[in-house]
A = this chain, B = another copy of it.
């Protein structure tokens, strides 16, 4: 790589010291107007750019945020990244992305990577596999601000940003009941994830409100297209199949719709389906999918803003009080229900 222009180059050419150049460039009052303009002109001419690495070393800060995320190839997460990058950009931070690919092992390595890269703070949504959180604790022990989003854990002393899973689920199921569904299935996420728990309990309480018996056999673990399709196939072939379906995400909901059509069932005439996420898929599928919008972009924004706030008030006060921010969700009623 070509050697970049340094402050020294300017200093030599002008017969000045590097200190003077440095101060001139940042309008230090000690520098006379003549030399200041001379310096600035030459700097511009040479295309000088301060070496961020040197500044990083001196300031012990990289203006970089580490992002550990299960997988980018998922509409919800890419929307979140979008929101984060937006906030980071506006605050002159850069974002380093590390995918865990839903692998615990990889995630542990990712936490080491953010450490060696000396990021100023970390945004995390952990993998489905993750049951042990000591690698994140290590970040916190190193006093690196960490904000968890979407997939969060209360056991760690860290900020959280989540969608209002409970209320979203409640609205969705309530809506299904109001549309006449008596038996409503829930395609759930793993219960060790907060989103899994929150959405299930929203589902549960909405049933309760309408005095509908909670039937454990109508709750199945199915948060991917394949697993949901398989589960839908089974459940829809029962003689007493449910007429309402609340899925933990859009992919899962679309699998239900697809399988129903396959089995000759009409949506929304025979069964009604509501998803969760409001991805592009939801608006495009046939029939258009009712869903709960969880505002990924806003969630990303908020998570990043929260992290930046922690970075500003860098001194970790004792005791550290974690903040939990809940992003409102909204029910979007479309043709599938």
A: residues with CB less than 8 A from B are 1-2, 4, 49-54, 56-57, 60, 62, 64, 71-75, 78-79, 81-82, 85, 89, 94-99, 113, 115-118, 120, 142-144, 225, 254, 258, 261, 280-281, 284-286, 314
Contacts and interface: CB of A to CB of B under 8 A. Distances in A.
A139 B62 CA distance: 21
A142 B72 contact: no
Contacts of A50: 116
Nearest to A114: B94
A119 to B, nearest CB: 9
B62 A73 contact: no
A183 B142 CA distance: 65
B254 A284 contact: yes
A107 to B, nearest CB: 12
A293 to B, nearest CB: 15
The 7 closest A-B pairs by CB, nearest first: A2-B143, A72-B78, A286-B286, A53-B56, A73-B78, A53-B57, A1-B143
Given A72-B72, A115-B49, A286-B285, A95 B94 contact: no
A118 B52 contact: yes
A124 B52 CA distance: 21
